[in-house]
Amino acid sequence: MAPPADLRDERLATPRDIADHVRAGVRRVRDGDLGALPVIAGIVVIWTIFQVLNPTFLSSTNLVNLSFDMVPIGVIALGIVCVLLVGQIDLSVGSVSGLSGAITAVVMVRFEQPTWLAVLAALAASCLIGWLYGQGFNRIGVPSFVVTLAGLLAFLGVQLLVLQGENAINLPFDSTLVKFAQLWFVPDWLAYTLAVAAGMGFSAAGWVRARTRRRAGLSAQSPQWLVAKSVLLLAALLFMVSYLCRTRGVAWMFVLFVALVLALNYVLTRTKYGRSVYAVGGNAEAARRAGINVRRVYTSVFVICSGLAALGGVLAASRLAAANQSAGGGDVNLNAIAAAVIGGTSLFGGRGSAFAALLGTLVIQSISSGLTLLNLDSSYRFVITGLVLFIAVGLDAVARRSRQAHGRG
């Protein structure tokens, strides 16, 4: 019996060499499947412009500082990615991060409790906040925009109450948190080892996925293409490590961020729960009819988002060695949401990845770092970030219409 027509087409379309993969990539871009191409191109343009204007922008010292500064916002943006994937929003991540930093400082300094207990208290309080959001959304029917906007205001007030009128509570400079966020770097030999391990892990995952697809009779990446991508990735990682090691090296805090990105990417792409998240974001009613507990998925993403916002707030307080009344305010909310969207997460739900937070945060922090080196006012940063965000959302909308026109959903 002959296989179905669509399966025969899938088999015939299987790329055989690197040239076939390049042609297939061009076809996907033409059909509206841009992937990470726009944001990568944006990073190249931004870095080129700032390097021309200030030759110290791409120095090892500045890139090490950039890797530190992008982590708190990046961790918060990871949570935003999860919420956006199901077509919802959380406007309170800034307030939750500031409250978490305040809880950590109060438990450590005022109550003189161990660091791990202070961090655990902040994470537990934030996960409870996410659970409350889920109940308000699922059981009462309050839109996520409204329930999290209320949280933005309410938890800003709770943060002030926790600090009890103090402008700031300083964290001990000899505490584990402050050392982790300011002074701890990966030994050079271990940094190279981690880079090689990451390259080998990428290659192994690609081989397993290609073999699984071939056994199912579907198209899969050719061995030549897998080898080429693995070699390029390994070379890039080794170069990055060697370049950062010219000065202070790779920060443990940045390693934590990358580990969180990889862990969330695995959950979203390799687990039943991750498939449920994408299904709910694509069509909640269809997901419900398929047997997915849609309410549980909504609650879980709110909890994950609040938990990651808490972790980002703790890291931000550790980076500053203080928790203050303005922590989590200002542009924290906007930067976290903008990072997720600029990185490629769709506002319409159902499309995006954990790597969107990494790429989007890199864009935003690169703009901030470049303008700081040029001694320009922060107003320029808001204008440029706003323009980049508008372009990212516009590209997503255009690509979405193109995919629909080509029958790709």
**pLDDT tens-digit series, residues 228-256:** 888 998 999 999 999 999 989 999 999 99
When pLDDT is cut at 50, 70 and 90, the band that residue 330 belongs to is: confident
SS3 374: coil
Q: Residue 22 pLDDT more than 70?
A: no
The Cα 270–Cα 138 span in angstroms is 26
pLDDT value of position 350: 83
- The number of distinct structural domains making up the chain is 1
Here the tokens at position 223 are: 């061995």
When pLDDT is cut at 50, 70 and 90, the band that residue 390 belongs to is: confident
**Radius of gyration of the CA atoms of the chain, in A:** 22
The fraction of the chain above a pLDDT of 70, given in percent, is 88
When pLDDT is cut at 50, 70 and 90, the band that residue 17 belongs to is: low
CB 299 within 8 A of CB 135: yes
Q: Residue 165: inside a domain, yes or no?
A: yes
Q: Domain containing 337: what range?
A: 56-184+272-401
Q: 322-324 and 168-170 as β-strands: parallel, antiparallel, unpaired?
A: antiparallel
Which class for 59: exposed (0-12), middle (13-18), buried (19 or more C-beta within 10 A)? middle
57-106 residue pLDDT tens: 999 999 999 999 999 999 999 999 999 999 999 999 999 999 999 999 99
When pLDDT is cut at 50, 70 and 90, the band that residue 194 belongs to is: very high
Residues in Cβ contact with 322 at an 8 Å cutoff, skipping those fewer than 6 apart: 105, 168, 169, 170, 171
Residues in Cβ contact with 338 at an 8 Å cutoff, skipping those fewer than 6 apart: 360, 364, 385, 388, 389
pLDDT value of position 143: 94
Q: Residue 197 pLDDT more than 70?
A: yes
Q: Residue 242: inside a domain, yes or no?
A: no
When pLDDT is cut at 50, 70 and 90, the band that residue 13 belongs to is: very low
CB 359 within 8 A of CB 41: no
When pLDDT is cut at 50, 70 and 90, the band that residue 1 belongs to is: very low
Q: Residue 251: inside a domain, yes or no?
A: no
pLDDT value of position 290: 93
Name the DSSP class of 2. P
Q: Residue 325 pLDDT more than 50?
A: yes
Q: Residue 18: inside a domain, yes or no?
A: no
Here the tokens at position 293 are: 């507990």
269-318 residue pLDDT tens: 999 999 999 999 999 999 999 999 999 999 999 999 999 999 999 999 99
pLDDT value of position 47: 92
pLDDT value of position 301: 97
Torsion of CA 400, 401, 405, 407, to 10 degrees: 20
Q: Residue 314: inside a domain, yes or no?
A: yes
Q: Residue 343 pLDDT more than 50?
A: yes
User: What is the pLDDT averaged over residues 327-349?
Assistant: 86
52 or 392, higher pLDDT: 52
Residues in Cβ contact with 191 at an 8 Å cutoff, skipping those fewer than 6 apart: 241, 244, 245, 249, 250
Residue 340's CATH number: 1.10.3470
Here the tokens at position 94 are: 């800034």
pLDDT, averaged across the chain: 86
110-145 residue pLDDT tens: 998 999 999 999 999 999 999 999 999 999 999 999
Q: Residue 244: inside a domain, yes or no?
A: no
When pLDDT is cut at 50, 70 and 90, the band that residue 12 belongs to is: very low
pLDDT value of position 120: 97
User: What is the pLDDT averaged over residues 140-157?
Assistant: 94
pTM score, whole prediction: 0.89
pLDDT value of position 2: 43
Q: Residue 190: inside a domain, yes or no?
A: no
Q: Residue 328: inside a domain, yes or no?
A: yes
